[in-house]
Amino acid sequence: MTRLERALSIADLRELARRRLPASVFEFIDGGAEDERTLADNRHALSRHRIVPRVLVDVANPQLATPIFGHTWAAPFVVSPMGSCVLGWPEADIAIARAATAHGIAYTLSTMSTTSIERMANAVQGRLWFQLYVLKDPSVNDKLVARAQAAGYEALVVTVDLPVGGKRERDLRNGISIPLRFKGKHLWEGITHPVWAWQMLRAGLPEFENVRGLMGEEGAGLTIAARVGQSLNASYQWSDLARLRDQWKGKLLVKGVQHPADAARMAEMGIDGIWVSNHGGRQLDGAIAAADAVPAIRAAIQGRATLIMDSGVRRGVDALTAKALGADAVGIGRAALLGACVGGEKGAHRAIEILIDELRRAMQLSGVNDFSTAQVELVGAGH
């Protein structure tokens, strides 16, 4: 039995990734902003809820299929956008996207990916979404949107909770950056993690392919969070979102929504998907946990938009809890990446497989035979 087969949970994959990766890289993936209160509370918010199971239900063949935007997904998961995945495994973006495709779920490519829009579309024949970070230069944003449209991405996900980069103190202390600028500490980490170092050397130094040459070379030594933060548009407003709605011809989602009034206004203006997220606890430390924000947002949008939640999903049962709270599907980011950090495409496949198996089992034990129509009773926080 391989180490991937022995991994029974996302926590197991996290531990394997922690052992394999240099500490600075693992902390970049694993960490959050400032005191990491929101990072921790994302998990606590999900675990505070308890499902009240029903019995004497035929659950011999539970249906995980989920209708989203006119398509049927094999399971209610979508891979959340993540930048700089290549630090964990060469070509990690493509590896995770291929695993998502194999499981019949969508993959979201980040603006700050080290795989370009076009290269991903050529490498993966699956359901691809593109996530837009709003940069200061409107012409750059327009070019990114046009490229995603031309490459056939079925949905655009605009992230609005990033007017500035969060203060991720682990990264500041560790000096993680792209292009990589090695210090004595990083050299020692490479020596003590030879397999990782050899893979990185063979793959070559990564770049942000979608914005290559647009962020300036003078910032090469800045941390990832600070470097991205310097190029973000902190003046992006409702009128800009309305323009994007007119510009993009496919499904448009807004990611980083936490207030019900914002969600209601977005639904009214024709936004197709509301993505409830606090950026995995990597932005405002002290922000509401994503799961706690879902019920009020569900009530506010009144069925006018699809609701996706991410931040803190580590177990299959979390998807069932999120469904009970009002989400149509959940985003998985770190969970998929941790798998990829251990074994590339096979590792990402294992991570998604674990979550799907756990969800199927949770549905059976809860007396739920169809996820899309599930009526799950919860007790705990807010109940």
CA–CA dist 312, 318 (Å, integer): 9
Can you tell me the distance from the alpha carbon of 148 to that of 116, in angstroms, rounded to the nearest whole number? Answer: 10
Token pair, residue 170, equals 């682990």
Rounded-to-integer distance, Cα 294 and Cα 170, Å: 29
The neighbour count for residue 30, using CB atoms within 10 Å, is 18
Radius of gyration of the chain (CA): 20
Residue 119's closest CA among 96, 141, 151, 142? 151
Q: How far apart are CA 341 and CA 92, in angstroms?
A: 8
Return the SS3 of 158. Answer: strand
User: What is the Cα–Cα distance from 176 to 209, expressed in whole angstroms?
Assistant: 18
Specify the length of the chain in residues.
383
Question: Which run of H or of E encompasses 9?
Answer: none
CB 32 within 8 A of CB 282: yes
Catalytic residue chosen out of the listed positions 49, 193, 279, 349: 279
SS (H, E, C) 31-62: CCCCCCHHHHHHHHHHHCCEEECCCCCCCCCC
Distance CA 301, CA 217 (A): 43
Residue with tokens 């994959």: 13
Tokens (6 digits) for 327: 């989400």
Q: Of 201, 151, 159, which Cα lies nearest the Cα of 180? A: 201
Residue 279 bears catalytic tag: yes
Cα atoms in the 13 Å half-sphere on the side-chain side of 68: 29
Q: How far apart are the first and last CA of the chain?
A: 43
CA distances, 234 to each of 78, 137, 247, 264 (Å): 27, 11, 20, 22
Residue type, 311: S
As annotated, the active-site residues are 279
